[in-house]
């Protein structure tokens, strides 16, 4: 298959592009005109595109599938008005431009797998959340709703749309786990706030497997919770990580200190509770490589 991928240099994009190329697919990495990335590698080649105007290089025409992973990192810096605008434009406006570009093609892709996030549910305490749960009302929830709405417009073009609602992605290569490791290795790790908030996590290997399923399985459409089947509370996550690293977990980070340091972002990313389960994936029969946190972290940290 010929597959276009936006956000190909990020944590998920890098892993996905490599996997797709190994499977024998032709992978076109959509990159901005000013990109300095190598034009062609063993994992595919670059196609220039402008996410503001939707202008797409000719080599990107006629794909079988598109995976949209573009978006500025949600946790890099306080959420000032300017930062929020960047988070919105890098997701919503770029997705709108992408769908418009697909609409101009004579031969359109069969499927658009577009990133989203479980932040769409907001802070929900102990409530068990499935793809059918109502969205929340905070900034992240609104952002995700708008993001999905733009991707959904591809359905009017005859394209199957999958909204991949990512949970906390665990990987050695970067992301949340990489940021957690240093304080724990220094013996200064601990729970965040009360530690009672639920964390819905997923291993990077499973993220790649689920995205590939989204491309290949014609029965997968709509919202898909990309999370492992066993969410845990933050205090449990802390204990498991500390045990595997053979380090103590004696230094909790008080909620007020997190809010002082990070502002609104602290509540949305670190203190909110989202007990999300992969109901749609289980109905589709997806078999997780890492179902429980202990085995997932053990496997990931064995690579270090």
What domains appear along the chain, each with residue ranges and CATH number? 2-170+201-227+276-289 (3.40.50.720)
Question: What pLDDT score was predicted for residue 303?
Answer: 65
Question: What pLDDT score was predicted for residue 52?
Answer: 82
Question: What pLDDT score was predicted for residue 279?
Answer: 98
C-alpha distances (whole Å) from 176 to each of 71, 124, 162, 261, 298 are 16, 21, 24, 17, 16
Question: What pLDDT score was predicted for residue 37?
Answer: 62
Question: What pLDDT score was predicted for residue 59?
Answer: 83
* 3-state class (DSSP) for residue 142: helix
b (16+ CB within 10 A) / e for 219-253: ebeebbbbbbbebbbbbbbbbbbbebbebebeebb
Q: How far is CA 83 from the centre of its chain?
A: 19
Beta bridge partners of 55: none
Question: Where do the H-state alpha helices sit in the chain?
Answer: 11-22, 81-88, 94-103, 139-152, 175-185, 204-216, 234-245, 255-262, 264-265, 279-284, 293-301
Question: What pLDDT score was predicted for residue 36?
Answer: 57
User: What is d(CA 289, CA 304) in angstroms, rounded to the nearest whole number?
Assistant: 19
Question: What pLDDT score was predicted for residue 8?
Answer: 92
Question: What pLDDT score was predicted for residue 60?
Answer: 86
User: What is d(CA 211, CA 25) in angstroms, rounded to the nearest whole number?
Assistant: 14
Please, what is the angle between helix 139-152 and helix 94-103, to 10°? Answer: 10
Local confidence pLDDT in tens for the 304 residues of the chain: 999 999 999 999 999 999 999 999 999 999 887 665 666 677 788 998 888 888 888 888 899 999 999 999 998 888 999 999 999 999 999 999 999 999 999 999 999 999 999 999 999 999 999 999 999 999 999 999 999 999 999 999 999 999 999 999 999 888 888 888 888 888 888 999 999 999 999 999 999 999 999 999 999 999 999 999 999 999 999 999 999 999 988 888 999 898 988 899 999 999 999 999 999 999 999 999 999 999 999 999 986 5
């Amino acid at each position: 298959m010929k597959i276009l991928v936006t956000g190909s240099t990020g944590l998920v994009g890098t892993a996905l592009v490599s996997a797709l190329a190994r499977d024998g697919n032709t992978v076109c990495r959509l990159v901005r005109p000013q990109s300095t990335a190598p034009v062609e590698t063993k994992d595919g080649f670059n196609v220039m595109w402008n996410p503001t105007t939707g202008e797409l290089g000719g080599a990107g025409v006629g794909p079988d599938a598109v995976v949209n992973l573009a978006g500025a990192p949600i946790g890099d810096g306080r959420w000032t008005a300017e930062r929020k605008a960047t988070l919105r434009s890098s997701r919503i406006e770029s997705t709108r431009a992408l769908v418009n570009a697909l609409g101009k093609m004579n031969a359109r892709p069969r499927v658009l797998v577009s990133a989203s996030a479980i932040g769409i549910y907001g802070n929900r305490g102990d409530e068990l959340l499935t793809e059918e749960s109502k969205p929340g009302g905070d900034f992240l929830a609104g952002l995700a709703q708008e993001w999905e709405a733009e991707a959904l417009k591809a359905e009017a073009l005859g394209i199957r749309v999958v909204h991949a609602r990512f949970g906390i992605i665990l990987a050695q290569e970067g992301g949340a786990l990489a940021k957690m490791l240093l304080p724990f290795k220094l013996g200064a790790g601990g729970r965040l706030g009360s530690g009672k908030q639920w964390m819905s996590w997923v291993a990077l290997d499973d993220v790649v497997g689920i995205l590939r399923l989204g491309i290949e399985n014609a029965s997968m459409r709509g919202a898909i919770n990309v999370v492992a089947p066993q969410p845990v509370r933050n205090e449990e996550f802390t204990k498991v990580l500390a045990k595997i690293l053979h380090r103590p977990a004696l230094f909790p980070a008080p909620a007020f200190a997190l809010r002082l340091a990070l502002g609104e972002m602290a509540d949305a990313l670190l203190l909110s509770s989202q007990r999300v389960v992969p109901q749609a994936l289980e109905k589709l029969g997806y078999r997780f490589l890492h179902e429980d946190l202990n085995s997932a972290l053990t496997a990931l940290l064995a690579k270090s």
